[in-house]
């Protein structure tokens, strides 16, 4: 939705910029996690049990772990950014609901990453 507002020169004020920053952080962290997960999957395609003591865990596993923590932090930030989005951002109802849905989906992803022990367990 940011492409629609590009070049309009209108600003919804400080609250709108804060909520927009929360959206940006959420999109970047989720994209970083998806990239780390794809890298991890491709690195595990070359997995060989004979070389496991020397090569395990792959560095992609650490990247996925840290990217998962970034997703959890972004989910918290996006949930905190709901207050400025709903109180004084001058956003329309659909934009606010879309932001709420994205924040809840990111929080659900963080809970699932904890459940799957991507972020809840040490990488050994």
- In tens, the pLDDT along 16-50 reads 787 778 888 889 999 999 999 999 899 888 778 88
> Is residue 1 one of the residues assigned to a domain?
no
> Is residue 122 one of the residues assigned to a domain?
no
> Is residue 22 one of the residues assigned to a domain?
yes
Question: pLDDT at position 8, please?
Answer: 60
> Is residue 121 one of the residues assigned to a domain?
no
> Is residue 3 one of the residues assigned to a domain?
no
> Is residue 40 one of the residues assigned to a domain?
yes
> Is residue 7 one of the residues assigned to a domain?
no
Question: pLDDT at position 46, please?
Answer: 79
Report how far residue 108's alpha carbon sits from residue 123's, in angstroms, rounded to the nearest whole number. Answer: 22
Report how far residue 103's alpha carbon sits from residue 20's, in angstroms, rounded to the nearest whole number. Answer: 12
What residue numbers bound the domain in which 110 lies?
Answer: 14-115
Of the candidates 13, 116, 22, the one whose C-alpha atom is nearest the C-alpha of residue 77 is 22
How many structural domains compose the chain?
1
> Is residue 124 one of the residues assigned to a domain?
no
Question: pLDDT at position 47, please?
Answer: 79
In the numeric block, the tokens 């109802």 are attached to: 93
pLDDT in tens, 94-118: 989 998 999 999 999 999 999 999 9
């Amino acid at each position: 939705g940011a492409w629609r507002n590009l070049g309009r020169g209108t600003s919804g004020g400080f609250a709108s910029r804060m909520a927009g920053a929360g959206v940006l952080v959420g999109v970047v962290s989720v994209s970083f996690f998806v990239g780390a997960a794809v890298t991890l999957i491709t690195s595990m395609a070359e997995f060989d049990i004979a070389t496991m003591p020397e090569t395990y865990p792959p560095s992609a596993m650490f990247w996925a772990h840290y990217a998962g923590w970034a997703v959890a932090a972004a989910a918290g930030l996006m949930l905190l950014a709901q207050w400025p989005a709903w109180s004084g951002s001058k956003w329309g109802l659909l934009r606010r609901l879309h932001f709420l849905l994205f924040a809840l989906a990111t929080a659900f992803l963080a809970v699932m990453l904890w459940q799957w022990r991507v972020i809840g367990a040490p990488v050994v």
